[in-house]
Amino acid sequence: MLPAEFGPGPAPRPGERNGTLYGQAFPVTRPDGGKWVELHYHHLWTRDCGRGGHELDAEHVSALIRWSGGRWRAEYWYAAAHENTLCDVSMIRKAGVEPLAEVWISSGKHASFLSKESCNKGGCGGDQCGEKQTLRVKQVMNVGQRDVPMHGYEWVLSSQWPLGEKLDSDFDEQLLALADKSDSPVRVAGSMRGTQTTLAVGKKPVDAVDTAVKKTDGALEAGASGTTGFLRKAARGVGRFLGRAR
C-alpha cells in the first residue's frame, strides 16, 4: 500500500494510492538571526491497518533547514510516531555532518521512525519494520497553511483526522537544545515508558487473532536538498528526501 492522493473539498476523499506526498513550508525565527525554514512532508493513508485500525491516517516527517554556505541544509529531523497519544514515541535528531536521514514507516500503522531499530521498539509494541522498500514519490503537493489551504484542500482541517494539529511547528528552542546534547535520536514525548511496556506485553494475545496488519513495510530514504522557492522548488529536494532520486 502507498500513501494516497486526495481530491479537493471540505472532507478527505482518498483517490489513487500512488505515493503522493503533501508538503508545507514556513519561515522560522531563531535566536541566531539566520534564515531558517521548517519543511513538513505529510504521508496520508486511506486506512490504519494495525490493531485498533480505523479509516484515514495522517502522518508526517519534518526538517528544520538553514541557509548556509550558499545553500539550504537540513540541521534537524523530526519523525512523528503516534503523536499526542499514550503510545507517542516521536523523535528528533541533529542532522550531523551529512544532512541526510533515513525514515522508516511502520507496517500498517504508518508511524515515522528515524531508524529500523526504533520502529521495532515502537509505541506500545504495535509497530513493525521489515525489509526496506524505498518509496517512489509520484508528486509533492503544497497544502498551504492552516488558515490558507491551497488547491481546495480544506480537508486538512477535517475532524475526520488529526491532520490540522500537525500543521504547527515541530521544533522549539527547548527541544532543539535537547537534540544538541545527543548524537542519537531523542524522544520528544513525555509518555510513561512503563505504561507503554505494559501495553506492549498485553498486546501479544491480541496479535494471535489479529490478521488485519498488512505487509506494507517501507523506508523513506531522506536527504535534504537546497531550495530557494521552498515548496515550489522543494519537489527536487523531496525526491532525494524520500528516495525518488539520490
* Rg of the chain in Å (alpha carbons): 17
The DSSP call for residue 33 is -
Answer whether residue 170 shows pLDDT above 70. Answer: yes
Confidence bin at 238 (pLDDT 50/70/90): very low
Residue-wise pLDDT tens digits, 43-84:
999 988 766 677 999 999 999 999 999 999 999 999 999 888
Task: Name every residue whose Cβ is closer than 8 Å to that of residue 61 and which is 6 or more positions away in sequence.
Answer: 40, 41, 43, 77, 78, 79, 80, 101, 103, 112, 220, 222
Alpha helix (H) residue ranges in 16-88 = none
Answer whether residue 2 shows pLDDT above 80. Answer: yes
What is the pTM for the complete model shown? 0.78
C-alpha distances (whole Å) from 222 to each of 102, 121, 172, 175, 237 are 5, 21, 22, 21, 9
The three grid cell numbers given for residue 127, joined into one nine-digit string: 509497530
Question: What's the CA gap between 23 and 33, in Å, rounded?
Answer: 25
